[in-house]
Amino acid sequence: MQWKIDEGCMGCGVCTFECPDGIEMDKGAAKIKDDTSACLVRAAQICPKQIIHQ
């Protein structure tokens, strides 16, 4: 399954600190950069907006 970040990212960057290999900031919003990173699970759990999912 592919990871997705829904619209509504507030650009806090918490996910990028938790998963720098899998997520990057682009124009003030998070975007998936490596769909295979194991840390994406944790990033999804800590996202304050709960918009990271498979």
Place of tokens 């720098």: 20
Domain count, the chain: 1
Place of tokens 């994406």: 40
| First and final C-alpha spacing in the chain | 6
Parent domain of 46:
4-53
Rg (alpha carbons) of the chain, rounded to whole number: 9
The confidence score (pLDDT) of residue 1 equals: 78
**Tens digit of pLDDT for each residue in 1-48?**
799 999 999 999 999 999 999 999 999 999 999 999 999 999 999 999
> What CATH code is carried by the domain that includes residue 27?
3.30.70.20
